[in-house]
């Protein structure tokens, strides 16, 4: 029996040093709380056990929003970018998403330094094996017997909690990248009665650069003009590398299908539910059997390593089978595997057990963030970590919590989806999950969320003032453009015809020309003599808001209707079983989730529009009309 000893008192304790834990710990400390962050290994703070990239479709939105609220991920990504690309340029601005290939170890080093240098934050290498509440204070015990006290605690355990790795017939307890798993903590949380479940994710192999024949692969360069994630990044983002694209073939498919019985995914060994939108290669081969080939992206893990990442090729097949099917692909005929692919199973919580603040409903002062909450992805984890850290700190200080609505942000959508709808597989953010994606663009994340970040205390006055000035410039330019008329001219009509749109025969408003799909704000600069010199990001906002004005105004009306329903509050002590007319399933779901508003109640799976009508009638007869 290890002797326990008192190791110190803190306001907030964070369990985990991954992307969620980092943002939670930094936010808490920056808001003036004495904070401690525990990690199983100091060398793997901010690790990227899967794809060494930040951003991507919808995920780039999350990083921009994090930055606007005062998070660290955007700045860290900008400081360690290898290649930058804006995705979905061929589509509308609502789905433009920045993605950067990152130097994996450099990013980890940046984040390690960030938490080490943060005043008010202690960083400890220790495995937390138990957590319990005594006299209103959380007690966290390490494997070595140290007991830390904290007023609030945040669980950000990633895939470490009860982690088990699977490679063919072999499986063993492990965290990602060969780290120790958090096995005893998983048992402790189960014994506390937390509603845990098993999820599964996977990571592809890393292979040696000099064993790849790049001449047989497609080159994927970065953008010629790059953009940063962070509002505060002033230096240009440099593309230092190129990525490559390869493909599977019929022989690849044959080898995988011949060995499916050796895959723990198909033999029934793995119990956990895997990510729907990021399947393993064997899952792709089975589910999409009509496809002749599947893409593989070959991406560098860093400037100072020869490890290359095979994106799109995660697998849990035996090591020798992995090597065999990799070598069927053009360019990989002689490939050398440095780290084999594996699947990892882990414990997480049913997120419907959380408030929108990310505090557990049945455990006051205990918060969840990241993959512990059932999500997947670094960006989703970091977003939740920031919100959990903010709310834990505000709880300690006796301040009201901060929640973001789904009308305000992708972060709000992410958290609302998790805590209201729950998830049956690892949750991944996508632009299609937001009803208001034309309003929640990545280019206006600063305008939407920086006022909140400033009010909270995570955005400094100088940065906030700069953003406000740029917003004023944007509004002034939109007003000016709407008052400018261009006379028809040979040069103007030549431009219009070259762009495939009709020439003009009389004076035309500049804004009307910008609204034409074929014409950009930049195209009209030679004809717009009074145009001021503006920052590029202001020009981008001006064009988007003029070109999509009608659609934007339509979504604003939808938001106003949503807010009307969100303002109809439901008393916290409502006895749904006593409300006549509600269906049994609705009563069960409402009693479990306990939504604070009609708007949130309407988003619960199993609650129908008819149930909402019953609730509205019940509220009007019980004083609910006072909320209107």
With 90 as the cut, is the pLDDT of residue 621 above it?
no
Question: Assign residue 552 a region: left if phi > 0, alpha if psi is -120 to 50, beta otherwise?
Answer: alpha
Q: What is the mean pLDDT of residues 176-199?
A: 96
pLDDT in the model for residue 151: 98
What is the widest separation between alpha-carbon atoms in the chain?
91
d(CA 259, CA 398): 58
> Which residues contact residue 134 at a Cβ distance below 8 angstroms, ignoring those fewer than 6 apart?
none
**Tokens 């008329």 belong to residue:** 485
Mean pLDDT of all residues belonging to the chain: 94
With 50 as the cut, is the pLDDT of residue 188 above it?
yes
Backbone angles phi, psi at 25, to 5 degrees: -65, -45
Which CATH number applies to 206-345: 2.60.120.620, 2.30.110.10, 2.20.25.90, 2.40.30.260? 2.40.30.260
The helix/strand/coil state of 88 is coil
Q: In which band, very low, low, confident or very high, does the pLDDT at 625 lie, cut at 50, 70 and 90?
A: very low
| Half-sphere exposure in the Cβ direction for 468 (13 Å, CA) | 10
**Architecture of the CATH domain 470-555:** Orthogonal Bundle (1.10)
Q: In which band, very low, low, confident or very high, does the pLDDT at 114 lie, cut at 50, 70 and 90?
A: very high
pLDDT in the model for residue 212: 98
pLDDT in the model for residue 397: 98
With 50 as the cut, is the pLDDT of residue 627 above it?
no
Q: 418-429 pLDDT, tens per residue?
A: 999 999 899 999
C-alpha distances out from residue 376 to 88, 200, 275, 507, Å:
22, 10, 8, 53
d(CA 383, CA 335): 37
The helix/strand/coil state of 249 is coil
> Which residues contact residue 365 at a Cβ distance below 8 angstroms, ignoring those fewer than 6 apart?
133, 136, 138, 151, 152, 153, 359, 392, 395
Domains 470-555 and 567-627 share a fold: no
164, β-bridge pairs:
173, 345
Q: What is the mean pLDDT of residues 350-354?
A: 96
- Nearest CA to 379 out of 104, 15, 18 is that of 18
Q: 197-245 pLDDT, tens per residue?
A: 999 998 999 999 999 999 999 999 999 999 999 999 998 999 999 999 9
CA angle 203-373-28, nearest 5°?
105
What DSSP designation does 268 have? Answer: T
pLDDT in the model for residue 276: 74
Q: In which band, very low, low, confident or very high, does the pLDDT at 480 lie, cut at 50, 70 and 90?
A: very high
Q: What is the mean pLDDT of residues 318-335?
A: 97
> Which residues contact residue 529 at a Cβ distance below 8 angstroms, ignoring those fewer than 6 apart?
none
Q: 585-602 pLDDT, tens per residue?
A: 999 999 989 999 999 999
pLDDT in the model for residue 476: 97
Q: Where are the domains of the chain?
A: 5-48+56-80+96-202+346-456, 206-345, 470-555, 567-627
Global pTM value: 0.94
What is 357-379 written as a DSSP string? TSBBTTSTTEEE-GGGGTB-SHH
Q: What is the mean pLDDT of residues 250-269?
A: 91
CATH 3.40.50.2300 fits 5-48+56-80+96-202+346-456, yes or no: no
With 80 as the cut, is the pLDDT of residue 628 above it?
no
| Half-sphere exposure in the Cβ direction for 264 (13 Å, CA) | 27
Which CATH number applies to 567-627: 3.40.720.10, 3.40.50.1010, 1.10.150.570, 3.10.20.30? 1.10.150.570
With 60 as the cut, is the pLDDT of residue 623 above it?
no
- What token pair was written down for 348? 């997480």
With 50 as the cut, is the pLDDT of residue 313 above it?
yes
Q: What is the mean pLDDT of residues 295-303?
A: 96
With 50 as the cut, is the pLDDT of residue 626 above it?
no
Helical (H) or strand (E) element with 252: helix 250-258
Q: In which band, very low, low, confident or very high, does the pLDDT at 265 lie, cut at 50, 70 and 90?
A: confident
With 50 as the cut, is the pLDDT of residue 25 above it?
yes
pLDDT in the model for residue 624: 54
């Amino acid at each position: 029996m290890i002797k326990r000893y008192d190791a110190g008192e803190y306001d907030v304790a964070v369990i985990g040093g991954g992307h969620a834990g980092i943002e939670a710990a930094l936010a808490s400390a920056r808001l003036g709380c004495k904070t401690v962050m525990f990690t199983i290994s100091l060398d793997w703070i901010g690790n990227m056990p899967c794809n060494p990239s930040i951003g991507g479709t919808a995920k780039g939105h999350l990083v921009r929003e994090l930055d606007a609220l005062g998070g660290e991920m955007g700045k860290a990504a900008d400081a360690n970018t290898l290649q930058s690309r804006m995705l979905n340029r061929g589509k509308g601005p609502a789905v433009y998403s920045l993605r950067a290939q990152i130097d994996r170890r450099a990013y980890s080093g940046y984040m390690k330094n960030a938490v080490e240098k943060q005043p008010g934050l202690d960083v400890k290498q220790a495995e937390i094996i138990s957590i319990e509440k005594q006299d209103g204070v959380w007690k966290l015990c390490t494997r070595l017997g140290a007991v830390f006290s904290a007023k609030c605690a945040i669980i950000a355990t990633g895939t470490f909690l009860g982690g088990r790795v699977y490679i063919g017939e072999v499986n063993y307890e492990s965290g990602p990248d060969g780290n120790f798993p958090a096995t005893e903590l998983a048992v402790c949380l189960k014994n506390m009665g937390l509603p845990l479940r098993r999820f599964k994710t996977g990571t592809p192999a890393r292979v040696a650069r000099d064993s790849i024949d790049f001449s047989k692969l497609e080159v994927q360069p970065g953008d010629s003009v790059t953009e940063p994630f962070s509002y505060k990044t002033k230096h240009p983002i440099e593309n230092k590398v190129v990525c490559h694209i390869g493909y599977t073939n019929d022989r690849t498919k044959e080898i995988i299908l011949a060995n499916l019985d050796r895959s723990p995914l198909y033999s029934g060994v793995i119990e956990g539910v895997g990510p729907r939108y990021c399947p393993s290669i064997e899952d792709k081969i089975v589910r999409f059997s009509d496809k002749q080939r599947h893409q593989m992206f070959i991406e560098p893990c860093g400037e100072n390593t020869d490890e290359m990442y095979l994106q799109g090729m995660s697998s849990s097949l035996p090591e020798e089978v992995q090597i065999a099917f990799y070598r069927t692909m053009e360019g990989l005929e002689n490939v050398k595997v440095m780290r084999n692919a594996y699947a990892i199973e882990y414990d997480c919580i049913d997120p419907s057990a959380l408030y929108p603040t990310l505090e557990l409903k049945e455990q006051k002062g205990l918060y969840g963030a990241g993959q512990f909450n059932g999500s997947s992805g670094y960006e989703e984890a970091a977003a939740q970590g920031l919100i959990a850290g903010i709310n834990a700190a505000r709880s300690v200080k006796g301040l009201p919590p901060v929640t973001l609505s789904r009308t305000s942000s992708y972060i709000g959508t992410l958290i609302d989806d998790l805590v209201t709808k729950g998830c049956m597989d690892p949750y991944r953010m996508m632009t299609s999950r937001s009803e208001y994606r034309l309003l929640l663009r990545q280019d206006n994340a600063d305008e939407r969320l920086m006022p909140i970040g400033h009010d909270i205390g995570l955005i400094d006055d100088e940065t906030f003032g700069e953003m406000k000035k740029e917003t004023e410039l944007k509004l002034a330019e939109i007003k000016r453009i709407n008052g400018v008329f261009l006379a028809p001219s040979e040069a103007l009509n030549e431009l219009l015809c070259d762009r495939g749109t009709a020439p003009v025969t009389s004076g035309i408003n500049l804004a009307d020309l910008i609204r034409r799909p074929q014409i950009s704000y930049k195209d009209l600069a030679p004809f717009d003599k009074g145009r001021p010199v503006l920052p590029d990001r202001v020009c981008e906002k001006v064009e988007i808001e003029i070109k999509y004005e009608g659609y934007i105004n339509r979504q604003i009306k939808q938001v106003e209707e949503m807010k009307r329903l969100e303002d109809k509050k439901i008393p916290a002590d409502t006895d749904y079983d006593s409300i006549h007319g509600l269906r049994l399933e609705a009563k069960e779901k409402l009693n479990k989730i306990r939504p604070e508003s009609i708007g949130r109640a309407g988003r619960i799976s199993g609650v129908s529009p008819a149930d909402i009508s019953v609730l509205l009638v019940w509220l009007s007869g019980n004083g609910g009309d006072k909320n209107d």
